[in-house]
């Protein structure tokens, strides 16, 4: 933190020095950004810099300013149309679109921020050139400047595109979503026809409220807990399952290794959603499995021991809490294990054989070898990918949505918040936006999901990868 503050202080101090000690050209750069370059003979660079400046002002004045000016209210003029029945044409007033205002406003502010950074760093560069000139050093021509981009400043060339991508596809949507969480963008305030506006922290308050009908607080806590349980269980069951399967297939005594491996890879080759839809049909209340179970008397047996309620004529594999939770995790093992098996097979083949041999010579049992050598090695290699899978499972839309799309909750508290017991945060969010156009609450949930994922990632990465454990495995 202190380092950061010092950096900040230095950053602005340098800017101050540039202005204070700059000569006429340098100071002129405060207004006309290219002046500092032009004054030292870098004419093209000067013109380019000035053009960027002009571009910025044109962009702000012509495009983003109209949006930013309305950012405080998110628009005041609602759409009104007048249809003329005689000519069959329609006259529409010049209405505000809250969504565009928000988007344009966010982009406009980001651009202003970027321009300020550019402006400050421009001053410093110009001042550096001034001192170089005073010391009689060589000042690069444009051609030389460009050449550095493929030599000593190659990283700049390489990083430009990815950074842009991150900005466009990550940062802007996230900022946009965060903003929506503070508005009343819902079913009754849908742009372009209707306006939405800022409501402060009301939505966050709703997320933590529980009354008879506003049950977001009640549901949110339960959905969150199930999401976390699911993410951890789904990840570790498939992980352990994959390793065991790989061990089994790699064992010398296993016959027909290739056949086994192919069989499991075929399950990957079938698109996941097809598999999942088929399974959800099979385990449906009136599906094949239930037909079999009632024929062999399993349904009756489960009713006798109280696992299935007497009123049901079927086993509610995917239609009652508890049953559905367990089944989802079991089905996920079946669907997810082949992937982990493939990964584990590759790593198992790479375990240094000398370690295994020396362990055997020392008289270690197979289990000891597995527990003391194989597993730590696997964990070390796959640690980062494990974290990624936990995050991916938190957002594992497919499995949950496809398996439980006909699930109806009997708990009124869930129903009042449009959720069900088996929902993850992500599927709940989907229902809220897709079926109920409740974008404001969906954004709030999205932010919470994002925070959870970010915290888990940060914590586990720093814990697992900070130390250099590579030595331990050599």
At closest approach, how far in Å is the CB of 406 from other proteins? 6
Closer Cβ to other proteins, 156 or 458, answer by number: 156
DSSP state of 183: B
Query: Which residues fall within 8 angstroms of residue 154, CB to CB, at 6 or more apart?
Result: none
Whether 97 and 189 have beta carbons less than 8 Å apart is answered as no
At closest approach, how far in Å is the CB of 47 from other proteins? 15
Closer Cβ to other proteins, 176 or 436, answer by number: 436
Three-class secondary structure of residue 198 per DSSP: strand
At closest approach, how far in Å is the CB of 86 from other proteins? 4
At closest approach, how far in Å is the CB of 207 from other proteins? 10
Closer Cβ to other proteins, 81 or 357, answer by number: 81
Whether 345 and 426 have beta carbons less than 8 Å apart is answered as no
Closer Cβ to other proteins, 82 or 305, answer by number: 82
Closer Cβ to other proteins, 125 or 267, answer by number: 125
What is the spatial distance between Cα 186 and Cα 433, in angstroms, rounded to a whole number? 9
Closer Cβ to other proteins, 116 or 225, answer by number: 116
Does the bond joining 192 to the residue before it have cis omega, within 30 degrees of 0? yes
At closest approach, how far in Å is the CB of 81 from other proteins? 7
Whether 439 and 408 have beta carbons less than 8 Å apart is answered as no
Range 207-230 burial, b when 16+ CB lie within 10 A, else e = beeeeeeebbbbbbebbbebbbeb
Range 364-394 burial, b when 16+ CB lie within 10 A, else e = beeeebeeebbeebbebbbbeebbebbbebb
Sign of the dihedral through C-alpha 119, 121, 124, 129 = negative
At closest approach, how far in Å is the CB of 172 from other proteins? 9
Nearest Cα residue to 207 out of 217, 197, 219 = 217
- What Rg, from alpha-carbon coordinates, does the chain have? 31
What is the spatial distance between Cα 276 and Cα 279, in angstroms, rounded to a whole number? 5
At closest approach, how far in Å is the CB of 459 from other proteins? 26
End-to-end CA distance of the chain: 36
Query: Which residues fall within 8 angstroms of residue 411, CB to CB, at 6 or more apart?
Result: 321, 421
At closest approach, how far in Å is the CB of 52 from other proteins? 6
Residue 82 bridge partners (DSSP): 91
Closer Cβ to other proteins, 85 or 306, answer by number: 85
What is the spatial distance between Cα 388 and Cα 366, in angstroms, rounded to a whole number? 30
At closest approach, how far in Å is the CB of 452 from other proteins? 22
Closer Cβ to other proteins, 117 or 229, answer by number: 117
C-alpha pair distances (Å), 443 with each of 309, 373, 377 = 38, 45, 40
At closest approach, how far in Å is the CB of 270 from other proteins? 21
Range 429-452 burial, b when 16+ CB lie within 10 A, else e = bbbbbeeeebbbbbbbbbbbbeeb
Closer Cβ to other proteins, 240 or 413, answer by number: 413
Closer Cβ to other proteins, 211 or 251, answer by number: 211
Closer Cβ to other proteins, 28 or 206, answer by number: 206
At closest approach, how far in Å is the CB of 384 from other proteins? 24
């Amino acid at each position: 933190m202190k380092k950061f503050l010092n950096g900040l202080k230095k950053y602005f101090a340098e800017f101050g020095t540039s202005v204070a000690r700059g000569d006429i050209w340098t100071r002129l750069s405060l207004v006309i950004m290219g002046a500092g370059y032009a004054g030292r003979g870098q004419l093209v660079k000067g013109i380019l810099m000035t053009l960027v400046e002009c571009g910025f002002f044109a962009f702000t004045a012509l495009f983003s300013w109209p949006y930013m000016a309305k950012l405080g209210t998110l628009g005041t003029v609602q759409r009104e149309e007048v249809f003329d029945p005689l000519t069959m044409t329609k006259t529409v007033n010049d209405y505000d679109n809250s969504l565009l205002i928000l988007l344009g406003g966010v982009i406009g502010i980001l651009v202003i921020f970027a321009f300020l950074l550019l402006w400050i760093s421009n001053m410093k560069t110009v001042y550096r050139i001034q001192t170089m000139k005073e010391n009689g050093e060589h000042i690069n021509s444009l051609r030389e400047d460009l050449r550095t981009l493929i030599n000593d400043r190659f990283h700049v060339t390489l990083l430009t595109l990815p950074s842009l991508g991150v900005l466009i596809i990550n940062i802007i949507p996230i900022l946009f979503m965060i903003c929506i969480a503070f508005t009343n963008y819902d079913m009754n305030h849908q742009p372009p026809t209707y306006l939405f506006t800022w409501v402060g922290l009301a939505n966050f308050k709703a997320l933590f409220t529980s009354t008879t009908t506003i049950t977001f607080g009640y549901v949110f806590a339960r959905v969150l807990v199930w999401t976390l349980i699911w993410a951890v269980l789904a990840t570790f069951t498939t992980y352990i399952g994959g390793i065991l399967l790989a061990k089994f297939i790699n064992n010398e005594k296993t016959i027909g290794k290739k056949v086994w491996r192919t069989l499991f890879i075929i399950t990957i080759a079938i698109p996941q959603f097809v598999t999942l839809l088929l399974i959800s049909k099979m385990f449906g209340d009136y599906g094949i499995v239930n037909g079999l179970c009632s024929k062999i008397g399993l349904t009756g047996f489960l009713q006798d021991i109280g696992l299935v309620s007497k009123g049901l004529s079927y086993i509610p594999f995917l239609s009652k809490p508890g049953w559905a939770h367990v089944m989802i995790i079991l089905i996920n093992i079946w669907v997810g294990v082949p992937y982990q098996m493939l990964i584990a097979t590759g790593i198992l083949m790479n375990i240094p054989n000398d370690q295994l041999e020396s362990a055997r010579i020392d008289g270690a049992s197979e289990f000891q070898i597995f527990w003391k050598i194989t597993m730590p090695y696997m964990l070390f290699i796959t640690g980062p990918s494990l974290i990624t899978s936990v995050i991916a499972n938190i957002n594992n839309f497919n499995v949950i949505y496809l398996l439980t799309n006909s699930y109806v909750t009997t708990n009124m508290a869930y129903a009042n918040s449009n959720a069900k017991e088996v929902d993850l945060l992500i599927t709940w969010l989907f229902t809220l936006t897709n079926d109920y156009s409740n974008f404001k609450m969906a954004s709030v949930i999205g932010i919470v999901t994002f925070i959870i994922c970010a915290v888990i990632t940060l914590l586990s990465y720093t814990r697992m990868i900070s130390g250099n454990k590579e030595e331990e495995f050599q």
